[in-house]
Amino acid sequence: MKRWKKQQQLLLKSSVKADLTLKAMATNYLLVWLGIINILLFYFMYSDKQKARKRKYRIPEKYLLILGILGGGLGGILGMQLFRHKTKHTYFYLVYILGMSLWVWIMTRVIR
């Protein structure tokens, strides 16, 4: 009977470790994703501003907004402020802030 209890305790400990490892991996992947998507949107805001100055083909707004929802809200807002691009469009602020809120909610669910 004692042997069975020891085995059960070891199994429980190993499953808890595996669960923590999965959470850590998921958290790391999400953080890498958010870093990449924010840098990408920041660059797209810069690139679109440069194209606007040169009157060249622009990046469609829907792509900038989709990237904001997919996690690039912080990069989008920083790009808006730093490059003074799309600052008159309040829906960009709204979508980027909602996107950031969504990702904060997702991250709190993953970390728990």
- Quote the pLDDT of residue 111: 79
Lowest mean pLDDT among 3-7, 23-27, 88-92, 96-100: 3-7
Q: Is residue 10 predicted with pLDDT exceeding 70? A: no
Residue-wise pLDDT for 39-56, tens only, equals 999 999 999 999 999 999
Domain range annotation of the chain: 34-111
- The dihedral built from the CA positions of residue 21, 24, 28 and 30, taken in this order, carries a sign that is positive
Contact (Cβ atoms closer than 8 angstroms) between residue 99 and residue 72: yes
